[in-house]
Structure 1
Amino acid sequence: MVQGASSSVGKSLMVTALCRIFARRGVRVAPFKAQNMSNNAAVCADGGEIGRSQALQALASGIEPVVDMNPVLLKPEADHRSQVVVRGRPWHTLSAGQYYDRKKTLWAVVTESLDRLRSLYDLVIIEGAGSPAELNLQASDMVNMAVARYAEAPVVLVGDIDRGGVFAQLLGTLWLLPEEERRLVRGLIVNKFRGDPALFYDGVAILEERSTLPVLGVVPYLPGLGLPEEDAATLSAVGYGHSPDDALDIAVVRLPHIANFDDFNPLQSEPGVRVRFVESVDSLGRPDAVILPGSKSTVADLGWLRTTGLHNRIGELARDGINVVGICGGYQMLGRTILDPACVESDRPETDGLALLPVATTFATVKLTHRVRARIVGGPGWMVTLAGHELAGYEIHSGRSTIADVHPWLAIAREGEGCGEAPDGAATVDGSIWGCYVHGLFDDDRFRRAWLDSLASRRRGRRALSPAPTEMPGYRERFRLALDRLADEVEGAVDIEALVEIIKK
């Protein structure tokens, strides 16, 4: 089990790296996280939702993600409540107090899922959450030491030296644990080290002396991997990606309940493109395109857009010819109205959208979660050249949208359903404003480049986006290479043979 001295120390990527390392050695390995809190979700083959990090870890392991890898997923909504997803399906929407009242029921789900994985794989690598030394939460714990005790799993504790205070992080965590839990910790890892690790040899010696545990490795800071993040807290308004002076400037609105924001990782990896996450009119500026991403609380986030003034500013930019795109919840926001007669998402029966697309959305009590094949049936503007092109993605939404006055530009076939194709997506006549429900569109190299070329060609005096170098691999291949780079770096920094011995014991 990999636990952290605090949140954001790099537990998720450490588990991802270890899954990749052991899979490359021929070990049948699988990830597990009892309870995750994230709106960045993935869809499994059976339509179940799990945290994006566990899906990434499964891919690193060379296996299909399944709901047992993350049996409890909390998706924060407005009003300090969360949708509780159990074994991939929405269960209840609860406050924190209501959630902990159901611990006994959920603990049975956690242990059954873990037992199933342990029966199928040689090695299960468990990820903790936050810190195991949150004293006020220990009685209700079902994701850190409670899981380690149940599985009798040796624990590796990770600290983040980049934020400072790594001695207090690691030693303080150990000293706060009761003896029966402290004995489960078998090693330490110092993560996110900048510079020459030889400069920390004295630090390693101090940690080993004070903890009486081995420091298994000092892992370097690894920026720019391009792998999905679990936590929206990592997003910032600072542009990232390839950023020459004439780079295409894409602003993604960082909604309070932003979801599935890894949709935009492929854009960040493109030469000549800068992606910024923005939260105000001032930070928005005048980009080449504005993207409204997915949201776990569409109505609440629409209210936030109005409060911040972004609602009006996005409308002004759209009327001035700036591209505006909506994905899933963002697509709903671009429409005329959002109806919620069953109070699925809020207590407002009707909410006005931005009215940039002729779309009306009604929330249903049953959520659609599917992997899909999406076929572009043609459309206005730049979409014409893609007619007939198919791409892979997924949908995850409760809203059902109807389109007036325009033809849908997508036909989607849902995995596991034999009911033919469903229409999706709306666009303006010039193709400058468009949206749909399909996540993962930008993973497709041809689709992504066609849209970026259309942005570049709209700039006065600017030719289309420069072609990608012929030797440059496609996004999916770059993704695979990023996983291998992560594994190579961790394998070079961590004593894997010592870790194997810890596992064997």
Structure 2
Amino acid sequence: MPAPVLMIVGTASSAGKSTLVAALCRLAARRGLRVAPFKAQNMSNNAAVTADGGEIARSTAVQAAAAGIAPTVAMNPILIKPEGQRRSQIIVEGKPWRTLDAADFWQRKALLWPVVTRNLDALRAEYDLVIAEGAGSPVELNLKAGDLVNMRVAVYARARTLLVGDIDRGGIFAQLLGTLMLLEPDERQLIEGLIINRFRGDPALFADGVRILEERSGVPVLGVVPWIEDLGLPEEDAVALEQARPVVTQGLTIAVIQLPAIANFDDFDPLAREPGVTVRYIDHPAQLAGAAAVILPGTKHTLAARRWLRERGFDAALRQFAGPIAGICGGYQLLGERISDPLAVEGAGGEEAGLGLLPIETIFAAEKQTTQTVARARVEWGGTADLYGYEIHMGRSHRLGAAQPFLTIVQRGAVATTEADGCISDDGRVWGCYIHGLFANTEFRRGWLRQLGWQPPSEHTPSVDPFDRLADQVAAALGPATLDRLFTVSP
């Protein structure tokens, strides 16, 4: 018999659905259940690579980690990677399918529903429980006809469905009651409970709110989940970067240039978690003031990012910057002499001169490189341990003349190799490579930070697993009786 599906839908984007799915995956795994996450369709440039080279949303890979399993493409069969306001690359079952304008994708969505059901069915045959996540709101009335990810999935799977609202945004009654009102009757009957998310303060103060919601909706409020500071999990997409961030002037500051269509910016979360280190996302050269180093991150549209840097005045500012400069993936390409996209792989294609800070040239190819990668640093401060990460890129970069590589690749996927990769300037100040996740390697990360004058903490503070911390908070909010009911897997 297929495994049951527990589904989390939200009143809006960024209501906390992804985080709650991660928490529930960890709680289910603690009970000995074989549990898998599922999100039929995601839109994000924060991606991860599976063991077989498939590409899925980073948030789904995080949920799989919470469940204690390796991520697979079945968990996120459709990934939309925006290249601009209207054009996106569509990843289907881990591989590029087509690059489409929004209108063209809408016309082709009917072709993808069998992809959704096939992968959900496969997970239900393999696991005891599937915890599915919706996207945005399930009642965007102009979009429901093409729904691939919200209530159409819930109805197909007859999923026990929970509706989540973000009280920190305000308007929680309109969020939850309005969403319930707009659901179709067959969808409404699947809603088993409401969850209030991100409550600041004593939840007892919202007792009247719980009563009002239950009286008006006839649906139980299963819990009030508190606001959790510094959770330490990657953000789902770049929406998080649009929120105002405090400016910190003490300690070591690393500036990350917030390129258009920025991708995989969770690369820098391990830096931000180090004591005495601030990661500042910037979009203007004046914000380089006080930074000890600059990082150019990945981007889904390198040529557009190159033009943006020139228009913003970053060319001169980066050439005058005296500190270290690093580039990851698209950022690495931008540091080179020339970027060429003759096949129009990204946008309209074309060619641009790079920043000229590394002696490399990049040419975009039709085939995307997606692989889990193991490397070793070729610089003294990079340490001697293997460096684990992953690659997602269309471009192929070549060092010019006697340019020095930055890394040696020792394994791509399951294939051993000894390939020189990346590039570092003669003075060691500027470097770049394609490997995402480098800074998650502690020896490498701290070696680079020491080059900037950072000192590690003198006392070791035992780390707390962020999934366990999150799961404990959610478990306390929902209570054991609710969890018992949600995790019942017998027919």
Q: Normalising by structure 1, what TM-score?
A: 0.92
SS of equivalent residue, structure 2 residue 152: helix
In the alignment, is residue 295 of structure 1 matched against residue 299 of structure 2?
Answer: yes
The answer as to whether partners of 1:81 and 1:95 remain within 8 angstroms in 2 is: yes
Cα distance in 1, alignment partners of residues 338 and 290 from structure 2: 26
Match of 1:384 in 2: 380
* Unmatched 5+ stretches in structure 2: 1-6
In the alignment, is residue 71 of structure 1 matched against residue 77 of structure 2?
Answer: yes
In the alignment, is residue 232 of structure 1 matched against residue 238 of structure 2?
Answer: yes
Match of 1:341 in 2: 342
Compared with structure 1, are the counterparts of its residues 493 and 163 closer, same or farther at alpha carbon in structure 2 (3 Å cutoff)?
Answer: same
Compared with structure 1, are the counterparts of its residues 496 and 174 closer, same or farther at alpha carbon in structure 2 (3 Å cutoff)?
Answer: farther
Question: C-alpha displacement at 1:469, in angstroms?
Answer: 3.7
Given candidates 453, 463, 479, the residue that maps to 2:450 is: 453
Compared with structure 1, are the counterparts of its residues 293 and 31 closer, same or farther at alpha carbon in structure 2 (3 Å cutoff)?
Answer: same
Match of 2:407 in 1: 410
In the alignment, is residue 273 of structure 1 matched against residue 277 of structure 2?
Answer: yes
Cα distance in 2, alignment partners of residues 158 and 276 from structure 1: 31
Match of 1:443 in 2: 440
Note the alpha carbon deviations across 1:269-290, whole angstroms, 9 max, x for none: 1111011111112333341111
Cα distance in 2, alignment partners of residues 267 and 187 from structure 1: 38
Match of 2:471 in 1: 487
Q: CA RMSD in A?
A: 1.7
Cα distance in 2, alignment partners of residues 238 and 160 from structure 1: 18
In the alignment, is residue 356 of structure 1 matched against residue 357 of structure 2?
Answer: yes
Question: C-alpha displacement at 1:385, in angstroms?
Answer: 4.0
Match of 1:401 in 2: 397
For these two proteins, the number of residue pairs brought into alignment is: 482
Query: Mapping of 1:4-23 within 5 angstroms?
Result: 4-23=10-29
Cα distance in 2, alignment partners of residues 137 and 499 from structure 1: 32
SS of equivalent residue, structure 1 residue 180: helix
Cα distance in 1, alignment partners of residues 119 and 98 from structure 2: 19
Cα distance in 2, alignment partners of residues 337 and 286 from structure 1: 29
In the alignment, is residue 171 of structure 1 matched against residue 168 of structure 2?
Answer: no
Compared with structure 1, are the counterparts of its residues 178 and 46 closer, same or farther at alpha carbon in structure 2 (3 Å cutoff)?
Answer: same
The answer as to whether partners of 2:197 and 2:225 remain within 8 angstroms in 1 is: yes
Note the alpha carbon deviations across 1:366-409, whole angstroms, 9 max, x for none: 01001011112x3xxxx324464321111110111011232202
The answer as to whether partners of 2:44 and 2:236 remain within 8 angstroms in 1 is: yes
Question: C-alpha displacement at 1:496, in angstroms?
Answer: 4.5
Match of 2:3 in 1: none
Compared with structure 1, are the counterparts of its residues 214 and 127 closer, same or farther at alpha carbon in structure 2 (3 Å cutoff)?
Answer: same
Question: C-alpha displacement at 1:310, in angstroms?
Answer: 2.0
The answer as to whether partners of 1:45 and 1:415 remain within 8 angstroms in 2 is: no
Q: After the TM superposition, which of the residue ranges 384-393 and 345-354 deviates more from structure 2?
A: 384-393
Cα distance in 2, alignment partners of residues 285 and 181 from structure 1: 53
Query: Mapping of 1:20-419 within 5 angstroms?
Result: 20-78=26-84, 80-235=86-241, 246-317=250-321, 321-376=322-377, 378=378, 383-386=379-382, 388-404=384-400, 405-418=402-415
The answer as to whether partners of 1:128 and 1:144 remain within 8 angstroms in 2 is: yes
SS of equivalent residue, structure 2 residue 137: coil
Cα distance in 1, alignment partners of residues 482 and 350 from structure 2: 59
The answer as to whether partners of 1:117 and 1:124 remain within 8 angstroms in 2 is: yes
Amino acid at match of 1:219: V
Cα distance in 2, alignment partners of residues 27 and 411 from structure 1: 40
Q: Normalising by structure 2, what TM-score?
A: 0.95
The answer as to whether partners of 1:73 and 1:86 remain within 8 angstroms in 2 is: yes
Compared with structure 1, are the counterparts of its residues 216 and 14 closer, same or farther at alpha carbon in structure 2 (3 Å cutoff)?
Answer: same
Q: After the TM superposition, which of the residue ranges 150-159 and 228-237 deviates more from structure 2?
A: 228-237
Match of 2:4 in 1: none
Note the alpha carbon deviations across 1:68-117, whole angstroms, 9 max, x for none: 00000000013611100000000100112211222222100000000000
Note the alpha carbon deviations across 1:214-243, whole angstroms, 9 max, x for none: 1000000112111100121112586679x6
The answer as to whether partners of 1:236 and 1:276 remain within 8 angstroms in 2 is: no
The answer as to whether partners of 2:297 and 2:330 remain within 8 angstroms in 1 is: yes
Cα distance in 2, alignment partners of residues 66 and 51 from structure 1: 10
Q: After the TM superposition, which of the residue ranges 416-425 and 78-87 deviates more from structure 2?
A: 416-425
Cα distance in 2, alignment partners of residues 294 and 189 from structure 1: 35
Percentage of matched positions with identical amino acids: 55
The answer as to whether partners of 1:238 and 1:277 remain within 8 angstroms in 2 is: no
The answer as to whether partners of 1:240 and 1:274 remain within 8 angstroms in 2 is: no
Match of 1:461 in 2: none
The answer as to whether partners of 1:305 and 1:311 remain within 8 angstroms in 2 is: yes
Note the alpha carbon deviations across 1:292-323, whole angstroms, 9 max, x for none: 00000000111111111123212221xxx221
